[in-house]
Amino acid sequence: MVEVFKTDIKKRSQSKTLVKKLQQHYPESCINFDLEDCDNILRVEGEDICPHTIIQLLISDGYCCQLLQ
């Protein structure tokens, strides 16, 4: 399963911090950001991914995050 999110992450340092945080919740998943995309894409690939949880984790850190369909 692959979930793709639009974010407002701008800096590589922010993305690295968030990847570490997300990997605590989804240790077997492949998680990365594409900050060169206009939507600052977050991709999470793995089993048993909950998009709502991912969105809430980013929002709790003060970022915007939306699931892309």
Where in the chain are the domains? 2-67
Domain 2-67 architecture: 2-Layer Sandwich (3.30)
Whole-number Å distance between alpha carbons of 33 and 20: 12
13-62 tens-digit pLDDT: 999 999 999 999 999 999 999 999 999 999 999 999 999 999 999 999 99
Is the whole-model pTM more than 0.75? Answer: yes
Of 64, 67, 10, nearest in space to 34 by CA = 10
Q: DSSP secondary-structure letter at 36?
A: T
Instruction: Write down the pLDDT at residue 40.
Output: 97
Can you read off the two tokens belonging to residue 2?
A: 């692959």
pLDDT over 90 (residue 69): no
